[in-house]
Copies of this chain bind each other. A is one copy, B any other.
Amino acid sequence: MKIRLGILGYGNLGRGVQYAASLCEDMEVAAVFTRRDPASVKTVLPVKVEHTDALASYVGKIDVLILCGGSATDLPVQSVEAVRLFNTVDSFDTHAKIPAYFAALDRAGKEAGHLGVMSVGWDPGLFSLARAYFTTLPGTGEAYTFWGKGVSQGHSDAIRRVAGVKDARQYTVPVESALERVRSGENPQLTTREKHTRECYVVAEEGADLARIEREIKEMPDYFADYDTTVHFISEEELRAKHGGIPHGGFVLRAGKSAAGNDYLMEFSLKLGSNPEFTSGVLVAYARAVHRLYGEGKTGAVTVFDIAPKYLSPLSEEELRKTLL
């Protein structure tokens, strides 16, 4: 019997989950849930679309609900409500709030007898795994994370709020020389400015004061003031043609010396044509894991740290040992 998925929220992430599940022979999507008028939602592949009000009527018809809303306002409310009805997977990524979010999800899941895996994707997610595996090795050396080159939605939005800006795209770019210093085993102390630069492609309104826009972007606290920021003014056509995608990626590295003084370097990197779609693929793999762990009686909240790799794979344990060990 296939694992029956529900998709809550149908933006980039929800569409990606539907695509990814379509490649998994052991999965099917039972329904997509939206706060919009279901009739207005065009799906990338055929599927039943329901209003979120209908969620409770799917109890018994869905094995795992994948939450595809945002971390800021959607997930903190949705996850706790959803785990009372279903097993869940989400991509919560507001780092400072992880302990409180975990506690709430764990309590609700245990009360309801369901399992929720939180903070799944590539960071948090695969990058968290790399940091965890890398730092278990006895030896000197910190784990470093660099992001990019890739589009930051939050920073792009921040630029769009500047007066006179019509549209914008912001790329986070890792500083190659900083990466090299880490790879060398130097274990440098790196400031925010030394790790990443920010490249902004901005479409200004006609007649806008470009110098003022550039200054306001570069001086924006939290978002840009601590970085070396470059601002390029381009046309709307160029933005659409050259900056329409949502690529991202990054690096997790640990370099140092082992106990006897031998050098080592561990490096994990991702280069992603679509940030949300890659995240969706990871969500789907963890939906499989949640379904299996729930079948073993596990309830409450878990993270990627709590889940053995075998639970993610469509292969059997025997096949895994034979083909991938």
Chain A positions within 8 Å of B, measured between CB atoms, are 15-16, 19-24, 44, 95, 98-99, 102, 119, 124, 126, 128-133, 135-139, 143, 249, 258-260, 262-274, 277-278, 281-282, 284-285, 288, 303-310, 312-315, 317-318, 320-322, 324-325
A246 to chain B, nearest CB (A): 9
For A137, the closest partner residue in chain B by CB is B281
Q: A133-B312, A268-B269, A305-B320 are in contact. List 18 more A-B contacts (CB 8 A).
A: A16-B258, A19-B260, A23-B259, A44-B260, A119-B325, A132-B320, A132-B324, A133-B309, A137-B278, A137-B285, A143-B324, A263-B271, A264-B278, A266-B270, A267-B271, A304-B325, A305-B309, A305-B310
With contacts A278-B258, A278-B262, A305-B317 known, is A322 near B99, CB below 8 A?
A: yes
Q: Known contacts being A310-B306, A325-B119, is A136 close to B285, with CB within 8 Å?
A: yes
Whether B138 pairs with A23 at a CB distance below 8 angstroms is: yes
The reply to whether A281 and B22 contact each other, CB–CB distance below 8 Å, is no
Contact for A270 among B265, B282, B313, CB less than 8 A: B265
In the assembly, what is the distance between CA of A153 and CA of B120, in Å?
40
How far, in whole Å, are A143 and B314 apart by their CA atoms in the complex? Answer: 15
